[in-house]
Amino acid sequence: MAANQEEVKLLGVVGSPFVCRVRIALKFKGIEYEFLEENLANKSDLLLKYNPVHKKVPVFVHNEKPIAESLVIVEYIDETWNNNPILPSDPYQKALARFWSKFIDDKVVGAAWKSAFTVDEKERGKNVQEALEGLQFLEDEIKEKKFFGGEEIGLVDIAGVFIAFWIPIVQEIAGLQLFSSEKFPNLYKWSQELINHSVVKEVLPPREPLFAFFKGRYESLIASQ
């Protein structure tokens, strides 16, 4: 299926790790698409039309058929365009990739985010602990592999872009030490491989504006207490 015969749109915001997942998959597959930047403070009619349930980005639109949720979208892209596979063909390996991708969302993303953007000390401590436990499981799983997918990036690596790029930003802003080469040497090495991968590097948002945006958000949160 040639990409140039398809109508492909992505509704998103540049600074979102979930949108970034989809952009990595699209770039990895060499799919041309139209990126429609959303303003989440004033959601477009198009976003409300295509994702009336969650009203969130990313939303992927293929030939006028909308799909929501980043990992669902990445799997759809992989099944629709067969070049450069993202998921393994072996059923067991495929199941493992899905398990660890969901694990990242369930056990790391939320906890790490709340660790930085929660004012209550007790609640923050609980989230820090949960994030550290989640990262330890991933440290044990990656071992000394280059990527979770082996020699090339796969579903788990794409899901983990939040860990590699966003956690270092939010932990610096909040003065936390969640993720470091000392605590998680294998996972840290993996994170450097991921953010320097030619495809990933090209679609990551610029760090400085993202840092400034999250710093402003953090300072507003602290000031409101």
Assigned domain for 156 exists: yes
**Domain boundaries, position 132:** 91-223
Tally of CA atoms within 13 A in the half-sphere of 158 that contains its CB:
31
- Tell me the C-alpha to C-alpha distance, in Å, between residue 51 and each of 33, 36, 170, 224: 19, 14, 28, 32
Among residues 178, 159, 154, 170, which one has the least CA distance to residue 213?
170
153 and 113 fall within a common domain: yes
Q: What digits encode the pLDDT tens for the residues 16-74?
A: 999 999 999 999 999 999 999 999 889 999 999 999 999 899 999 999 999 999 999 99
Nearest-angstrom CA–CA distance, 168 and 163:
8
Q: What pLDDT is stored for residue 3 in this prediction? A: 44
76 and 27 fall within a common domain: yes
73 and 97 fall within a common domain: no
152 and 218 fall within a common domain: yes
216 and 165 fall within a common domain: yes
What are the backbone angles phi and psi of residue 147, rounded to the nearest 5°? -130, 160
74 and 114 fall within a common domain: no
What order of strands is seen across the sheet that includes strand 59-62? 34-37, 8-12, 59-62, 65-68
105 and 137 fall within a common domain: yes
Q: What pLDDT is stored for residue 5 in this prediction? A: 64
Q: What pLDDT is stored for residue 4 in this prediction? A: 45
Provide CB contacts within 8 A for 128, sequence distance 6+: 111, 115, 176, 178
150, containing H or E segment = none
Q: What pLDDT is stored for residue 224 in this prediction? A: 85
Q: What pLDDT is stored for residue 118 in this prediction? A: 92
Residue 130 scores a pLDDT above 80: yes
97 and 206 fall within a common domain: yes
Q: What pLDDT is stored for residue 99 in this prediction? A: 98
Provide CB contacts within 8 A for 13, sequence distance 6+: 19, 37, 38, 40, 57
Assigned domain for 217 exists: yes
The residue among 80, 110, 143 that closes a domain is 80
Q: What is the CA radius of gyration of the chain?
A: 18
State the pTM of this model: 0.95
41 and 124 fall within a common domain: no
25 and 58 fall within a common domain: yes
Assigned domain for 173 exists: yes
Mean pLDDT of the chain: 95
The residue among 80, 100, 117 that closes a domain is 80
CATH number of the domain encompassing residue 99: 1.20.1050.10
Q: What pLDDT is stored for residue 34 in this prediction? A: 97
Residue 124 scores a pLDDT above 70: yes
| Length of the chain measured in residues | 225
35 near 61, Cβ under 8 Å?
no
Assigned domain for 164 exists: yes
Assigned domain for 85 exists: no
158 near 25, Cβ under 8 Å?
yes
Q: What digits encode the pLDDT tens for the residues 95-121?
A: 999 999 999 999 999 999 999 999 899
Is residue 170 packed enough to be buried (19+ CB in 10 Å), middle (13-18) or exposed (0-12)? Answer: buried
Q: What digits encode the pLDDT tens for the residues 190-224?
A: 999 999 999 999 999 999 999 999 999 999 998 98
Question: What is the count of structural domains for the chain?
Answer: 2
- Section 147-161 average pLDDT: 96
